[in-house]
Every structure is written in structure tokens, then in C-alpha cells.
Homo-oligomer: A and B are copies of this chain.
């Protein structure tokens, strides 16, 4: 099943996806050799991982933590580095697989670097597709790097359309749990606290994606990802609310068939798939039973209560720089919400405002390169930030 040892780097090793990736490695210790591990600031966990997996390289994003990491790994053979350029250098190591699990647009440069040098990128960093989808997919198409999605929904779609000819796909539907506020009114959500928003009913994830799940912006971002990953028009993409998070996607075909990918909500399943494809690794997850399967429900998403979905869909339809602006404004807004600077419903408002403002300023045109993307990303962050600070 795992015929030879794969060299593996994990970008964002101390986050939720990174830790789950290393858990899968724990169950297949003979199958993987860890090359580079990176983290932004969790230096203690990064050092612990580097020791355990005898990583060839450990890189911390925050340069101020370099000496701490160096001292924690003294006496080992692990090469230690810090800073943004070092992250990119670590991502550029030639390996069989890079797990690209840095959260946010901070992951753009390292993930692009990985796509240039690795045999496979297991993509958990949404922003490569949301902000820079055209540039990233052009890079993939022009090279030899395999791209395997790690989001559970996209992993599911990848599995179900494996052998399909494009013209046979009628519809791709991503499911959404609906998050903690699925049945809340607009008034209740306006008063929602950070703790309430972080209390996801099904998934254990990082803070950013958990808030995105509560606003349903996460599903909007995933529709944009799906648009770049799969051979469909945006009208063929939809989402439905499925509170049990058992079915991750539904793909319907011209012969009347719908294929569904299901699994208990545990990221180790799509991670194992991305690491092992075309084989499947064993993952120590709970298996579905008849109780899990019975009484699954599906309902339309309510864009009135979850305006982030409508904003994201508009950005998808507009294309160009709009998805990048959407993402940047959303990162600023979520950070402000987590810092208790704005309310929950202000998140979608700020994103919508930023998109409108950028359009008025002529910033929503085509973005061709990673540099274009980073420029737009910066500009959109500045606009959102100035709005938060009481600007125009």
C-alpha cells in the first residue's frame, strides 16, 4: 500500500491540519520521512515535532523566535531558520509531498514555491485558489506537480469525479454544517460573542476557519476554490446546509447519478487521501454506522441570514481581483472580531463594503501573477483596516 518512503514537508505544522497530518504519519511511520516543518509562532510545538520526526529543517516564521528555536533544537541535526524567506526556502525543498497548511494569505508565497519544486502539493491553504486561483492553476498546469485538495469537501469531489469526463458533470454541491448559528436570527447573530462563534458543532478547527464557518464565508471561499479545482462553470456550483457534516459533497451527473463522499467529520480522512493518493492510507478515524447515516438532512442555505455567502458568490461571478479582495477583507474582519473590535454581523458588512470600495477605485480587474495578488491583497487590507479605524 505504501511501496516506498515518501519525503514530506509540512508547512503550518503546528496548526490543526499540520498536527492531523503528523498524526497520520504516526500511523505510517515507515512510509514517510519528514524534511521540513514550519510554523509561524508556536516555537515549542515546532521544536517538539522536529525532535520527534527528526526533521531535516525547522523554520519559524516570526524571526524574533529564531534563537529560542535554535536553542530548543541544539545538539540535533535539524537545520533551523526563521523569517518569510526561510519559509519559502523550506517550501522549495524537493520532496514527494508538501502539505500546504499555512492559514491565510501568508501561505501564498510558500505554497507557490512548493508547487514549483514538490512532486505533490496537498493543498489546505485556501488562499492559493481563492486569491490567486488563475495564477496558481496556471503554475500547476504548466508543471509536473500533482495538486490534491485537503478540504474535506474538495477531497470528496476529487474522489467522486476521479474518472469522469467533464461534460458528464451536471452539478457539484458542497455541504456546509451551517455552523453554530445555523438556526439563529439576524438579531441573535448581531449580539453573538466570540466564544459562541468559536463553538462549532461538528468540526475541531483553527479559530479563523471556525469563524468563517459561523459566517458561512468559509463555504463561499470553498465555492471559489472548487471553481478553480474542477472543470465546471460557476452556475454548476452550489452549497447546501447539512448540519450533521457526514456528507461532504454531492456530485451529480448527466445519467441521473449523484455520487456522495461521506465520512465522520475528521480531517485525518482527507489528509490521508491527499498523502496516499492514488492509494488510500489507513486512517484511525471513527467509521460511519447506520445511526450516522439515518436521518441526515439537507436544507437551502439562507443568504439573508448569512450574507457572506452572497458576497462571496458575487466575488466568484465577478472574478479578477474580487475573490482576493474578499479574502483580504475577511481576514481583517475576522481578526477584528476575534479581538472584540467589531460584532459578528459586522464581518460580512466590512467585506461587502471593501469589495464595493475596491470596485469604485478600479481595483477589481484581472490579477495575473502572484505579485499582482499580493499588491491587491495589501491594498484591500489597508482599505478594510482604515474603515475599522473610522476611515471613509
- A residues contacting B by CB (< 8 A) are 1, 156, 159-160, 162-165, 167-168, 170, 240, 247, 250, 252-264, 266, 268-269, 272-273, 276, 278-283, 285-288, 290, 293-300
* Contact status B165-A286, CB under 8 Å: no
- By the criterion CB–CB under 8 Å, are B162 and A162 in contact? yes
Can you tell how many copies of this chain the complex includes?
2
Q: Is the CB of A256 within 8 A of B269?
A: yes
Instruction: Indicate whether A163 sits within 8 Å of B278 (C-beta atoms), given known contacts A252-B288, A256-B285, A297-B294.
Output: yes
Cα–Cα, bound, A287→B171 (Å): 11
**CA of A355 to CA of B140, assembled, Å:** 60
* B288–A299 CB distance below 8 A: no
Cβ distance A164 to chain B, nearest Cβ, rounded Å: 7
Task: Give every chain B residue within 8 A of A258 (Cβ-Cβ).
Answer: 261-263, 288
Contact B287 A294 (CB under 8 A): no
**Chain B neighbourhood of A254, CB < 8 A:** 280-283
Closest to A278 in B: B163
Partner of A165, one of B255, B279, B300: B279
Q: Which residues of B contact A247 (CB under 8 A)?
A: 260
Contacts of A255 in B (CB 8 A): 263, 268-269, 272-273, 276, 280-283, 285
A300 to chain B, nearest CB (A): 7
Residue in B257, B263, B283 whose CB lies within 8 Å of A269: B257
A282 to B168, CA, bound (A): 8
Q: Which 10 A-B pairs have the closest CB atoms?
A: A168-B280, A256-B285, A256-B269, A255-B272, A255-B283, A258-B262, A260-B260, A254-B282, A255-B280, A294-B297
* Residues A167 and B297 in contact, CB atoms below 8 Å apart: no
Docked complex Cα distance between A268 and B298 (Å)? 26
